[in-house]
Amino acid sequence: MEQHLPRQLLELIKYISEQAVRHEQRVYLVGGIVRDLLLEDPSLRSGLRFDVDLVVEGDAVRLAQQVADTGQAKLLAHHRFGTAKLSYGDFTLDMATARKETYARPGALPAVTPGTLKDDLIRRDFSINAMAISLSSHDYGELVDPHQGKTDLERHLIRVLRTESFSDDATRILRAVRYEQRLGFELETQTARLLKRGTAMLDTISGDRIRHELELVFGEEQPELAIRRLAKLGVLHRISPFLKGDGSIAERFGKARRLKRPTQLPSLYFCLFIYAFGESELGQFLGHLNMPAKLSHAMRDTLRLKNTLWLLDRSSLKPSEVYYLLQEYDTLAIEANAIASESSMVHRYLQLFLTKLRYVRTSLNGEELKRLGISAGPEMGKVLQILHKARLDGEVNTKADEKKLALSLSLES
């Protein structure tokens, strides 16, 4: 911890641990951060991600309030769930009262009651995520690992803690593969068997939860690895029979990374993910996953454009023709098609639009046109359109050219 966590976080953790001792509570670092500390994950060292989970044997919300009172943090407490989030500049601390969970039926949200650290660890998904580090002064820094998570880390295995794990919460099917592929691990034999058997349980969870898991997959460095594996395991087919995880996905996702900044990638991945769909299949998929309106629009546009790409498969198109064909489409849809299209000519036109044509503007504005004697209203609209088209096609290149053209147009009318 001393080596890998930033100083401010360490100081805070020590302060929390002192407060906990004063109130006779015990606090532990749990989940992903423990796993990553043991792995000495480089992303920890570069300080890129610091979502830190703490479990409190006691009252997490009260403890979080005490910590928040000392200053700098923003507190968001959920008394009903016994959880609180403290947000600092570079990291967030999620504090939760140790809990015991029971599932009334597969796919249902669990019933939660206060419990011990042991209860809290056994309810978790995989052994590598079910370890804790004590923050109490008498055993500060000691690993609590009742399910041999450290051994599994060393053996590179993803292993569930209970046979019902996937049926209790089928999102874990996607989580298992995400960790397996991120870490270069393997599903332990029995876990792989349970996962395949549990695939049908994906029908028990809401589309929102499936979408969220896919968003997490698309947040990975190389999501195509998880997508390919999910396809092999029959998971994609269960989510939608039309989803594919073949080689073209890997190639397209790789191209997407060269084109976009990481924060913008997940939406583009979604557009590429459904590229082989028909429009009605996409409608079903969007409805099932309850996709947000903006992204749904981009995904629909992706297919609409795919079906009209043949119009761009001609060598003699003027830039303005390319512009008018493409201007109504969502930028993501154009990017997805630029990546997926197999015709080099189509690709060139799409790139031309993305890098140049969409930014082309006239130099003259309405006020300046008025001064040239062109009246506001439909006439001016028409002149502006002609100037824009001439700019696109390189027939005018300067403001003076535009003036000349505008004057000639007004003389004509």
Q: Whole-number minimum distance, CB 296 to ligand CTP, in Å?
A: 25
Number of H helices, E strands in the chain: 22, 11
CB of 245 closer than 8 Å to CB of 232: yes
Stretch that binds ligand CTP, among 77-85, 123-131, 279-287, 291-299 (CB under 6 A): 123-131
In terms of CB distance, is 175 or 300 closer to ligand CTP?
Answer: 175
In this complex, which beta carbon is closest to ligand CTP, that of residue 166 or of residue 353?
166
- Name the DSSP class of 123: T
Nearer to ligand CTP, 120 or 301 (CB): 120
CB 39, min distance to ligand CTP, A: 10
Residue in 326, 381, 387 with CA at minimum distance from that of residue 358: 326
- Interaction between residue 124 and ligand CTP (CB under 6 A): yes
CB of 135 vs ligand CTP, minimal distance in Å: 17
CA distances from 339 to 135, 220, 272, 306, 358 (A): 49, 19, 8, 11, 18
Q: Considering only residues 202 through 221, tell me which ones interact with ligand CTP, judged by CB under 6 A.
A: none
For every residue of 155-193, DSSP letters joined together read: HTEE-BSSTTHHHH-THHHHHHHHHHHHHT-EE-HHHHH
Q: Please state the closest distance from residue 165 (CB atom) to ligand CTP, in A.
A: 8
Least Å from the CB of residue 120 to ligand CTP: 9
Pull the structure tokens for residue 111: 């019933």
Cβ neighbours of residue 135 closer than 8 Å, sequence gap 6 or more: 13, 14, 16, 17, 20, 27, 28, 29, 54
Give the number of other Cβ atoms within 10 Å of residue 57's Cβ. Answer: 21
Contact 95, 83 (CB under 8 A): yes
**Between residues 11 and 51, which has the closer beta carbon with respect to ligand CTP?**
51
Instruction: Say whether residue 32 binds ligand CTP (CB under 6 A).
Output: yes
Reference 33, options 99, 96, 93, 88; nearest CA is: 93
Strands (E), 89-170: 92-97, 99-102, 111-114, 132-134, 143-144, 157-158
Q: What's the DSSP call for residue 126?
A: B
Interface with ligand CTP includes 129 (CB under 6 A)?
yes
Q: Which residues are registered as beta bridge partners of 96?
A: 55, 83
Q: Please identify, using beta-carbon distances, which residue of 185 and 323 lies nearer to ligand CTP.
A: 185
Residue nearest to ligand CTP (CB): 32
Beta strands in 36-91 (DSSP E): 51-57, 74-78, 83-87
Least Cβ distance, residue 169 to ligand CTP (angstroms): 5
The least CB distance from residue 52 to ligand CTP, in Å, is 9
> For ligand CTP, which is the closer residue by CB, 227 or 346?
227
Shortest Cβ 41–ligand CTP spacing (Å): 9
CA distance 111 to 104: 7
One symbol per residue from 151 to 190: x for binding ligand CTP (CB under 6 A), - otherwise; what is it? Answer: ------------------x-xx--x---------------
Looking at this protein, which amino acid is placed at residue 180?
E
Interface pick for ligand CTP out of 16, 37, 53, 209 (rule CB under 6 A): 53
Supply the DSSP symbol for 246.
S
Judged by beta carbon, residue 55 or residue 392, the one nearer ligand CTP is: 55
Q: Based on CB atoms, which residue is closest to ligand CTP, 130 or 405?
A: 130
Shortest Å distance, C-beta 299 to ligand CTP: 25
Under the binding rule (CB under 6 A), the answer on residue 145 touching ligand CTP is no
C-beta closer to ligand CTP: residue 48 or 376: 48
* Distance (Å, whole) CA 266 – CA 256: 10
Tokens read off for 25: 């509570």
Question: Total residues contacting ligand CTP (rule CB under 6 A)?
Answer: 12
Give the pair of three-digit tokens for residue 376.
Answer: 């506001």
Contact set with ligand CTP (CB under 6 A)? 31-32, 51, 53, 124-125, 129-130, 169, 171-172, 175
